């Protein structure tokens, strides 16, 4: 029995829906939001009139209301929507005496071509007055009005002006998933550094696209040292760890939601200081699965030593440590992938979960993607594929990168098919041969 | 044809809809739709309604399950007829290939508006969607007021994560980005992560963990809600963070998160974990705080105390299985620990709670605590109104002792109709006694016309002949206010209870008018009561009395006499 006949299954669905359906809180927030808008609209009007005393009085009233809203919401987002002013997706309703002030604020936002105004923390009276004055002042020239307002509000830390102009396009090409993830990673780390809530929804979308791309082209995900994109070493490690973690999760058989959780947790794992990062990442209300898992991973991965932790943390620890070993960082030359993997293999069961590491190694193969190997005939090649299966575990696909015959340069070989006459003879040091990474993937 | 019937809209209603033709909920569908489009529009309307209703449904109620099954059948039939559909979502509008299928301007009810708002632009549905998939779809589409933006679990994400094989969504890539000056880079080439310190390498080899082990690993991250173990582990990590002198974190700064974790465990299935979390918080109330967090103990006390708040108690009740007849011991133990006064905390849930299952759970728990506190329950009842008073009365009826029973019985004449209904319901299930009899009579005298019929049914079941005098006196005293129908109702009862020995009495209500005029003296309601009483009494004497009444009746009374004779015929009065 399944679906609608199964009372237990139906009860679970109803219970989950009922717990999420918190109208009481929504109504409270809606009411408070309406009040905030009315107060801010009124303050803008007072700024126009220039009467100082009422301005101060209005600002005094506004500050605590805003603080009460930001605390549960994490970030307060006001936007003039199709049906009226919305706060974090809730359509606000106003009392008759508040209508005029609310309309005024909506008009000011539209006049400044603002699609949304975000407040990441409490404002003091002075900041509230600056905001209201900026909204009351003439708008910038068309097309730049929102940016001009943002410039005026620069320095008022918790305020952020949103517009559509900075949004990157949808991911279409094969590289866009990687580039998108990189951009969102940069935005998230910058937001956390400024004590703002990163756009976790966008980060989750990026993780979902990256997971799809990783499933489509696993070999590319497994060889971060072969990536042709320009990025800082820190970003390279995090993106590499994320791709490796997603691939390992896929090999294990995790579902799409768990993979997205994993991807987001991986991209955010370097957020520091820890307490501030936890506070900020926890700020949007609701203890949903993704939030619990990424905070747990953040704290478990930051714990000293090889603390076991939950599955996402154990899995990400493997991916992260491998990326840390094979990606070059200032003062830390990269290790050859087989060497890095061998060191981790030696620590399995102690520093790493034995079974997860076994699955990781299955994916990577004896010579992980990015390994430089000398072949038994003297040619040198770079490994392009992972482990594939038990039979081909030690016989990857490679691209020749050094050969006495110039015509054979860049030739692709499947060493499993050539195993009767050719084998990897030894591992070469990374960087010992020049590699044209762009050409490597384009062929 | 039932609402949501898949045949609705497909059955011979012409090629196109009439202007303003109503849909199954009465709201008109757009003009110009053909039969298949109308069926699809109705099915989508059913889907939207079922998704909206899901949080308040009672899974045990056949009617509720029937509503969902009808909605599923309608959608399956519509998709079967039309094949895969690619529905475009715009605020207040559902479109299919340039045709507007449905419009709804209510921003919270409209599926199109809600999904569009959360980034979904197209919803592609294919035939073959079974009930389990339909239920998962409903859950993903159900409105939520917890998922306020910025929400990463918006409808687009929920639909994507649900992995529904016959449902595909096309969503916008994301919300607008920031404009203006860029933030300073947060990471640049710095990375606060250290390379692991590892020993000499060992050659790896292919090792297969096996399918069972793989499944075990996957089970550590179950789909849906985070496991209680994960929540508890995070709480443990937070406690460690609070004691880290490098971080200097205060409990107050993490209190919102701790509250959420606590609420996550406020579930019948996780009470053991909740107890461990409360233990952790309780330990903070007595431990000496670090110098950077002097208010830690006070914050911890507040967090523990707020567990007994109405909101938290309601959350716990919402998670209780409705199949249970008694509150589980674990829930009672949790309430004892979390609430200063569990009875007051649970009673505080009732006034605003519309969910039937929660009210049932609350009543069961109140019954447990109310047993030792009857006077307080009575006091709460007296200050309550409507549904809450009715709930409290049911609780007291469940207590079962004499004092509680007497109290319940006394409420059958309560001025509040909801309470009266509840009390009468209990009266109907109690063993008959003088107290119950008196209560029935009081209820009969004080209730509304509509409810009297139900009470008369109960009086018949008592077989207590003492009601004959009492009801007859009621007719004598109020005959001019009673309607003939009311008179008929009372007449049936006194006839059934009184039997042949009361025939003379009813004859006295059928005194012919003087001077040979046709008809009877007195109000019509009294005449009708007498006729219906005679109709219910077996034997020739009653039949004769009715025959005489037929001869004497005027035009007004005659239909009632005929009705009484027919009734007698139906019930076999002659042979009883």
Q: What is the rounded (10 degree) CA torsion for B270, B275, B277, B278?
A: 140
Q: Please report the pLDDT score of residue B5 as a whole number.
A: 36
Q: Please report the pLDDT score of residue B157 as a whole number.
A: 78
Query: What gap in Å lies between CA B446 and CA B262, rounded to an integer?
Result: 50
Which of A346, A400, A355, A411 has its CA nearest to residue A378? A400
Q: Which residues 212-251 on chain A approach chain B with CB closer than 8 angstroms? A: 232-235, 237-238
Q: To 5 degrees, how large is the angle CA A199–CA A202–CA A205? A: 150
Q: Is the peptide bond before B150 cis (omega within 30 degrees of 0)?
A: yes
Query: What gap in Å lies between CA B271 and CA B273, rounded to an integer?
Result: 5
Q: Please report the pLDDT score of residue B497 as a whole number.
A: 93
Q: What residues of B are in contact with residue A235 (Cβ under 8 Å)?
A: 187
Contacts of residue B66, defined as CB under 8 A and 6 or more positions apart, other chains included, come to: none
Element (H, E) at A197: none
Where b means 16+ CB within 10 Å and e means fewer, A172-182 reads eeeebbbebbb
Q: How far is CA B227 from CA A287, A289, A336, B264, B507, in A?
A: 12, 8, 39, 10, 77
Q: Please report the pLDDT score of residue A20 as a whole number.
A: 63
The answer to whether the beta carbons of residues B538 and B575 sit under 8 Å apart is yes
Exposed, middle or buried: residue B568 (CB in 10 Å: 0-12, 13-18, 19+)? buried
What tokens were used for A339?
């060497």
Nearest CA in chain A to B184: A190
Which of B172, B151, B168, B150 has its CA nearest to residue B159? B168
Contacts of residue B567, defined as CB under 8 A and 6 or more positions apart, other chains included, come to: B492, B532, B535, B536, B573
Q: To 5 degrees, how large is the angle CA A365–CA A371–CA A377? A: 100
Contact B254 A153 (CB under 8 A): no
Q: What residues of A are in contact with residue B139 (Cβ under 8 Å)?
A: 13, 16-17
A244-258, A263-277, B441-455, range with the lowest pLDDT: B441-455
To the nearest 5 percent, what fractions of chain A are helix, strand and coil?
55, 10, 35
Q: Please report the pLDDT score of residue B280 as a whole number.
A: 94
Contacts of residue B547, defined as CB under 8 A and 6 or more positions apart, other chains included, come to: none
* DSSP one-letter code for A85: E
Where b means 16+ CB within 10 Å and e means fewer, B259-282 reads bbbbbbbbbbebbebbbebbebbe
Q: To 5 degrees, how large is the angle CA A416–CA A417–CA A422? A: 75
Q: To 5 degrees, how large is the angle CA B189–CA B195–CA B197? A: 165
A362 confidence band (pLDDT: 50, 70, 90):
very high
As beta bridge partners, residue A426 has A374
Contact B150 A88 (CB under 8 A): yes
Q: Please report the pLDDT score of residue A275 as a whole number.
A: 92
Question: Which sign, positive or negative, has the C-alpha torsion A413, A414, A420, A426?
Answer: positive
- C-alpha atoms less than 13 angstroms from C-alpha of B566 in its C-beta half-sphere: 6
Distance from CA of A102 to the nearest CA of B (A): 19
Q: Which residues of chain B have pLDDT under 70?
A: 1-27, 59-60, 106-108, 144-153, 173-189, 224-226, 321-324, 400, 572-576
Q: At what angle do helices B62-82 and B35-53 cross, to 10 degrees?
A: 150
Query: What gap in Å lies between CA A314 and CA A230, rounded to an integer?
Result: 29
Q: Which residues 271-290 on chain A approach chain B with CB closer than 8 angstroms? A: 272-275, 278-279, 282-290
Length of chain B (residues) = 576
Where b means 16+ CB within 10 Å and e means fewer, A336-361 reads bbbbbbbbbbbbbeebbbebbbbbbb
A21 confidence band (pLDDT: 50, 70, 90):
low
Q: Please report the pLDDT score of residue B96 as a whole number.
A: 87
Contact B217 A356 (CB under 8 A): yes
Contact A22 B223 (CB under 8 A): no
Query: What gap in Å lies between CA A237 and CA A225, rounded to an integer?
Result: 10
Q: To 5 degrees, how large is the angle CA A186–CA A191–CA A192? A: 100
pLDDT averaged over every residue in chain A: 85
Exposed, middle or buried: residue A53 (CB in 10 Å: 0-12, 13-18, 19+)? exposed
Distance from CA of B560 to the nearest CA of A (A): 50
Query: What gap in Å lies between CA A45 and CA A39, rounded to an integer?
Result: 10
Query: What gap in Å lies between CA B359 and CA A317, rounded to an integer?
Result: 47
Distance from CA of A97 to the nearest CA of B (A): 23
Task: Choose from A84, A201, A279, A301 for mutation: most chain B CBs within 10 A.
Answer: A201
CB-closest option in A162, A190, A286 to B184: A190
CB-closest option in A118, A256, A286 to B260: A286
Nearest CA in chain A to B51: A17
| Tens digit of each residue's pLDDT (9 = 90 or more) over A68-94 | 888 878 788 888 765 678 888 777 888
Contacts of residue B554, defined as CB under 8 A and 6 or more positions apart, other chains included, come to: B517, B518, B519, B520
The answer to whether the beta carbons of residues A337 and A326 sit under 8 Å apart is yes
The model carries a pTM of 0.69
User: Who wins on pLDDT, A331 or A340?
Assistant: A340
Contacts of residue B26, defined as CB under 8 A and 6 or more positions apart, other chains included, come to: none
Contact A186 B186 (CB under 8 A): yes
Contact A310 B65 (CB under 8 A): no
The answer to whether the beta carbons of residues A440 and A226 sit under 8 Å apart is yes
The answer to whether the beta carbons of residues A314 and A348 sit under 8 Å apart is no
Q: What residues of B are in contact with residue A286 (Cβ under 8 Å)?
A: 146-147, 151, 260
Q: Please report the pLDDT score of residue A421 as a whole number.
A: 93
For A84-164, where are the E strands, in sequence order?
Answer: 85-87, 90-91, 116-119, 159-163
Contact A89 B148 (CB under 8 A): yes
Q: How far is CA A277 from CA A189, A193, B294, B327, in A?
A: 10, 9, 22, 41
Contact A274 B195 (CB under 8 A): no
Task: Choose from A11, A17, A197, A367 for mutation: most chain B CBs within 10 A.
Answer: A17
Q: Which residues 370-399 on chain A approach chain B with CB closer than 8 angstroms? A: 387, 390, 393
Looking up tokens 């073959």 gives B128
> In this model, does residue A116 exceed pLDDT 50?
yes
> In this model, does residue A166 exceed pLDDT 50?
no
Query: What gap in Å lies between CA A37 and CA A33, rounded to an integer?
Result: 6
Q: What residues of A are in contact with residue B177 (Cβ under 8 Å)?
A: 162-168, 187
What tokens were used for A390?
């038990």
């Amino acid at each position: 029995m399944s679906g609608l006949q199964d009372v237990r299954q139906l009860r679970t669905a109803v219970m989950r829906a009922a717990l999420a359906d918190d109208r009481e809180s929504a109504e409270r927030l809606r009411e408070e939001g309406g009040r905030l808008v009315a107060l801010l609209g009124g303050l803008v009007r007072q700024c126009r009139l220039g009467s100082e005393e009422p301005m101060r009085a209005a600002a005094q009233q506004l500050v605590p209301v805003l603080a009460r809203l930001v605390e549960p919401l994490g970030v307060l987002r006001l936007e003039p929507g199709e049906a009226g002013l919305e706060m974090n997706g809730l359509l606000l309703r106003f009392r008759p005496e508040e209508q005029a002030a609310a309309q005024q604020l909506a008009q000011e936002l539209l006049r400044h071509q603002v699609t949304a105004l975000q407040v990441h923390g409490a404002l003091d009276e002075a900041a509230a007055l600056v905001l209201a004055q900026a909204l009351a002042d003439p708008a910038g020239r068309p097309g730049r009005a929102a940016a001009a307002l943002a410039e005026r509000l620069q320095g008022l830390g918790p305020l952020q002006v949103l517009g559509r102009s900075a949004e990157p396009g949808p991911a279409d090409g094969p590289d866009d998933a990687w580039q998108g993830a990189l951009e969102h990673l940069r935005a998230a780390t910058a937001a956390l550094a400024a004590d703002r809530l990163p756009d976790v929804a966008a980060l989750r979308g990026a993780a979902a696209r990256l997971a799809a791309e990783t499933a489509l082209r696993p070999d590319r995900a497994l060889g971060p040292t072969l990536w042709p994109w320009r990025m800082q070493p820190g970003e390279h490690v995090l993106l590499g760890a994320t791709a490796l973690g997603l691939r390992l999760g896929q090999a294990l058989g995790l579902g799409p939601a768990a993979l997205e959780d994993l991807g987001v947790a991986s991209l955010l794992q370097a957020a520091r200081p820890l307490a501030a990062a936890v506070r900020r990442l926890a700020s949007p209300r609701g203890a949903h699965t993704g939030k619990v898992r990424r905070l747990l991973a953040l704290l478990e991965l930051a714990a000293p030593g090889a603390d076991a932790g939950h599955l996402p943390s154990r899995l990400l620890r493997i991916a992260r440590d491998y990326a840390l070993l094979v990606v070059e960082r200032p003062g830390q030359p990269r290790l050859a992938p087989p060497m890095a993997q061998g060191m981790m293999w030696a620590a399995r069961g102690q520093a790493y979960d034995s079974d997860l590491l076994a699955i990781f190694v299955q994916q990577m193969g004896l010579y992980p993607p990015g390994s430089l190997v000398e072949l038994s005939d003297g040619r040198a090649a770079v490994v392009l594929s992972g482990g594939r299966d038990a039979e081909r575990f030690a016989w990857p696909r490679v691209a020749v990168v050094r050969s006495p015959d110039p015509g054979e340069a860049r030739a692709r070989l499947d060493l499993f098919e050539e195993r009767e006459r050719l084998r990897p003879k030894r591992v070469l040091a990374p960087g010992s041969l020049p590699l044209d990474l762009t050409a490597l993937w384009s062929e | 044809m039932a609402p949501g019937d898949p045949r609705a809209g497909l059955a011979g209603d012409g090629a196109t809809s009439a202007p303003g033709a109503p849909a199954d909920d009465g709201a008109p569908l757009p003009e110009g739709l053909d039969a298949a489009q109308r069926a699809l529009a109705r099915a989508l309307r059913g889907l939207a309604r079922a998704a909206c209703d899901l949080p308040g449904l009672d899974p045990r109620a056949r009617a509720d399950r029937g509503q969902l099954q009808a909605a599923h059948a309608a959608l399956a039939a519509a998709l079967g007829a039309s094949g895969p559909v690619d529905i475009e979502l715009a605020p207040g509008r559902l479109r299919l290939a340039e045709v507007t299928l449905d419009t709804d301007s209510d921003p919270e009810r409209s599926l199109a508006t809600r999904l569009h708002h959360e980034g979904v632009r197209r919803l592609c549905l294919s035939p073959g969607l079974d009930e389990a998939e339909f239920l998962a779809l409903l859950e993903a589409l159900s409105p939520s007021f917890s998922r306020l933006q910025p929400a990463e679990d918006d409808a687009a994400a929920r639909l994507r994560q649900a992995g529904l094989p016959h449902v595909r969504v096309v969503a916008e890539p994301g919300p607008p980005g920031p404009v203006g000056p860029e933030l300073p880079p947060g990471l640049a080439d710095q990375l606060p992560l250290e390379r692991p310190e590892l020993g000499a390498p060992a050659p790896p080899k292919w090792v297969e963990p096996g399918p069972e082990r793989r499944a075990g690993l996957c089970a550590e991250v179950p789909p849906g809600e985070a496991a209680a173990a994960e929540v508890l582990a995070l709480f443990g990590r937070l406690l460690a963070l609070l004691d880290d002198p490098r971080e200097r974190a205060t409990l107050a700064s993490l209190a919102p998160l701790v509250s959420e974790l606590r609420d996550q465990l406020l579930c019948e299935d996780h009470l053991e974990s909740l107890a461990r979390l409360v233990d952790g918080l309780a330990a903070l109330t007595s431990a000496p705080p670090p110098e950077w967090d002097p208010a830690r103990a006070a914050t911890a006390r507040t967090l523990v105390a707020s567990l007994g708040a109405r909101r938290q108690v309601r959350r716990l009740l919402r998670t209780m299985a409705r199949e249970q007849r008694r509150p589980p011991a674990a829930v009672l133990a949790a309430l004892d620990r979390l609430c200063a006064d569990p009875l007051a905390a649970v009673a505080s849930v009732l006034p605003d709670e519309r969910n039937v299952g929660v009210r049932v759970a609350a009543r069961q728990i109140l019954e447990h605590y109310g047993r030792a506190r009857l006077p307080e329950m009575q006091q709460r009842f007296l200050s309550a109104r409507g549904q809450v008073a009715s709930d409290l009365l049911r609780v007291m009826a469940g207590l079962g002792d004499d004092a509680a029973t007497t109290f319940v019985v006394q409420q059958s004449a309560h001025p509040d109709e909801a309470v009266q209904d509840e009390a009468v319901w209990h009266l109907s299930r109690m063993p008959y006694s003088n107290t119950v009899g008196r209560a029935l009579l009081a209820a009969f005298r004080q209730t509304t016309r509509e409810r009297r019929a139900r009470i008369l049914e109960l009086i018949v079941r008592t077989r207590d002949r003492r009601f004959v005098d009492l009801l007859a006196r009621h007719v004598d005293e109020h005959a001019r206010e009673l309607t003939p129908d009311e008179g008929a109702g009372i007449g049936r009862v006194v006839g059934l209870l009184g039997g042949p020995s009361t025939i003379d009495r009813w004859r006295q209500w059928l005194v012919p008018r003087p001077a040979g005029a046709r008809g009877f003296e007195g109000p019509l309601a009294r005449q009708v009561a007498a006729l219906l009483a005679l109709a219910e009494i077996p034997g020739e004497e009653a039949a004769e009395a009715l025959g005489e009444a037929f001869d004497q009746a005027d035009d007004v009374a005659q239909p009632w006499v005929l009705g009484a004779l027919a009734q007698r015929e139906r019930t076999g009065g002659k042979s009883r």
